[in-house]
Structure 1
Amino acid sequence: MECHKTTGRTAYPVFFNVEPTEVRHQSGAVKEAFAKHEKKDAAGKWRDAMKEAADLAGRELKTTSDGYEAKFIQKVVEDISLELRFIDSSVDEKLIGMETRVKEVLSNIEADSDDVHVIGIKGIGGGGKTTLARAVFNYISIWYEGKSFVENVREASKGSGLKKLQQQVLKDVLNDKSIDITSVYEGEMMMKKMLGSRKVLVVLDDVDDIEQLEALAGEHSWFKSGSTIIITTRDEHVLVAHQVKSILDVNLLSHEEGIRLFSKYAFGREIQSKGMKSSQEKLYIMLQGFP
């Protein structure tokens, strides 16, 4: 907890066969354990550290995966690995505010109660939907047995393009470049038959017609439990028609993020705006010394 407070490291509590309230209030088994150490000089510090730790985000066996230990461990590993990926920075440093937006998508994937997670990301053209979907794809793809990122579905599906996109998904996910599809119907049958054997991650980018979704992600039964399908679109009606339950708006930059972005490109650095009262003050500070 000292490292958490003084060096910026992240403390991650794991509550294994103990409830956070027992740790926070030092009751039950925790109370019994502390009773053996009351005379030790460090006991007070330990109590304070336990209270603080109980208030941090972590995992509790009792409320995760119905108490199934193997799945609980898997969730802990996923949580920590994702945090380390943010720290290692697979996020492009130029992408101001991306980390927050990626975490929002990840939280919705986890909150989705369906066995197959289908997430819709909607927003205006040029608003960052593809960039966000790509960042999420890069973060979580390691946890899937097969993956495919299908770009620009709207344009690529014109003419006979849909069967080529079906081919792309199957080739990517199954790692089999010999797959050949002669019709959209055949592609649907092949996807239904072949995708159910592994947990997959598929991103369908810039969808604008329900027929595209029917051809590329027709039904949940096509995919193995645990699979994730992410769809980006400008048209929310397409998502509604496909019965997508989790629909997220891609948020444009906040005022604060806009200032940071302007500062980064105009002056080659991000200003430290903490304590400044207004955007005018921030802009004035940035312009000091500007020729």
Structure 2
Amino acid sequence: MGEAQTGWMFDVFLSFRTEDTGKNFTDHLYTALDQKGIVTFRHDALERGKPISTEILKTIRESRFSIVVFSRSYACSNRCLDELVGILECMKSKGQTVFPVFYDVDPSDVRKQKGCFEKALCEHVQFMDKVESWRAALKEAANLSGWDLKNKFESKVIQEIAERIFNQLSQEVSSALTDLVGIDSLVKEMNMYLDTGVDDVRITGIYGDKGIGKTTIAQAVFDSLSVRFDGSSFLANIKEVSEKQGLVPLQEQLISEILMARNMKIRNVHRGVNTIRNSLCHKKILLVLDGVDRLEQLENLAGNRNWFGAGSRIIITTRDENLLIRYGVDRKYRAAELNHDDALRLFCSKAFKQGHPPEDYAGLCNLVLDHAKGVPSALEALGSFLFGRSLPEWQGAVDRLAQVPCTWDYLK
């Protein structure tokens, strides 16, 4: 899908021993997850004995789920064991869900470090300072609910895992829609228009001022509908990206995400147009073109309806309503400022982590709302800035707000 469905960088992090399962079970699992639009990270094979990198640890922290595939030589790798420690730390600190999979090993051997696991740990002489933490991690992970492949068909287990992750992600996306303060009705309206069995190609536009929530609306619709398409792509910040890099990288991203093809290279914009048209004309796709400001961008990324297969949907966000008219969208929606009640709820969700202000802060909240003028990004920025601050600090911030026309930049 190009972007994780839950707001994390990745939906799933796979921890596995390349030599054991990298070309069979884990590869097939990765494919099953990928086919369901689940954004999954798997590392390339690393040199034997090479320590875990800070990039891998960062990726673990940015993943909603981790799947740990325990195999016979998993504990032979200090990198795998370090990954496991990092994964369990994220489970405790960030609420990451962890699923163990036992491939050709007994869960009891992992839990109690017997057999091949005992032998492997004894051979880590140069890492004796880590062995105890590794043992504790193995025991803890083996006690989690997961899958034991003993006497089971691999293909069936893989499908069970993919369905479990997919269903949980779908529930979280649905739950997230209820938290879209002030724009939930617009998201539902767009979903009803776009999520239909009609096989025409529909193009919709969302327009409005900067910071008003156009991208948030498009992302919510994208997250809730993308699993219903053959492929999907969310091209963010098109104006900024095209000014710095041109349109070719955006064309490459579009094709790569929808076709799930890696290292897609396009020589020039004209070639990109032909590739998009020829490769996607029979696919039902969902495409978001975010932050568009020129007709040229639309013409070279989604030039004509016949570029895409029956049932495809295209969503465009822009500040320029006239651009949507010139392009010929089927329907356009205006992202408007929030009313007072919705603005208060959004601001308080950031400033107090609840939907209403404490009594002592009510007057100051109204002054902040007057300054933010219903702009969601301003409300979120101000709320996040004021979170956890004392009443005198709030008063000082509100006093400064009254002295400047800018909503929040000076607070940084």
TM class by smaller structure: 0.5 to 0.7
Q: Name the count of aligned residue pairs.
A: 195
Query: Residue in 2 aligned with 1:118?
Result: 203
TM-score in terms of structure 2 length: 0.43
Cα offset for 1:128? 0.6
Q: Does 1:153 align with 2:238?
A: yes
Cα–Cα, structure 1 residues 160 and 191, in superposed 2: closer, same or farther, change >3 Å?
Answer: same
Cα–Cα, structure 1 residues 172 and 140, in superposed 2: closer, same or farther, change >3 Å?
Answer: same
Q: What does 1:1-291 correspond to in 2, within 5 Å?
A: 85=171, 88-91=174-177, 93=179, 95-110=180-195, 115-158=200-243, 160-271=245-356
Cα offset for 1:109? 2.2
Q: Quick one: distance in 1 between partners of 2:199 and 2:325?
A: 16
Contact 1:123 1:233 in 2 (8 A): yes
Cα offset for 1:267? 3.9
Q: Tell me, what secondary structure is at the counterpart of 1:104?
A: helix
Cα–Cα, structure 1 residues 112 and 215, in superposed 2: closer, same or farther, change >3 Å?
Answer: farther
Cα offset for 1:228? 0.7
Q: Quick one: distance in 2 between partners of 1:206 and 1:112?
A: 28
Cα offset for 1:169? 0.3
Cα–Cα, structure 1 residues 112 and 250, in superposed 2: closer, same or farther, change >3 Å?
Answer: farther
RMSD: 2.9
Contact 1:152 1:207 in 2 (8 A): yes
Q: Quick one: distance in 2 between partners of 1:260 and 1:142?
A: 30
Q: Quick one: distance in 2 between partners of 1:241 and 1:183?
A: 25
Cα offset for 1:159? 5.8
> 1 or 2 for the larger relative contact order (CA 8 Å, sep ≥6)?
1
Cα offset for 1:86? 7.8
- Identity fraction in percent: 37
Cα offset for 1:156? 0.9
Cα–Cα, structure 1 residues 261 and 160, in superposed 2: closer, same or farther, change >3 Å?
Answer: closer
Contact 1:102 1:136 in 2 (8 A): yes
Q: Quick one: distance in 2 between partners of 1:155 and 1:161?
A: 9
Contact 2:202 2:314 in 1 (8 A): yes
For residue 226 of structure 1, what is the amino acid of its counterpart?
Answer: G
Deviations 1:14-55 (A, max 9, x none): xxxxxxxxxxxxxxxxxxxxxxxxxxxxxxxxxxxxxxxxxx
Cα–Cα, structure 1 residues 259 and 166, in superposed 2: closer, same or farther, change >3 Å?
Answer: same
Cα offset for 1:155? 1.2
Q: Quick one: distance in 2 between partners of 1:106 and 1:141?
A: 11
Deviations 1:157-187 (A, max 9, x none): 1265201111110011001113211111111
Cα–Cα, structure 1 residues 88 and 135, in superposed 2: closer, same or farther, change >3 Å?
Answer: closer
Cα offset for 1:260? 1.8
Cα offset for 1:265? 3.7
Contact 1:133 1:230 in 2 (8 A): yes
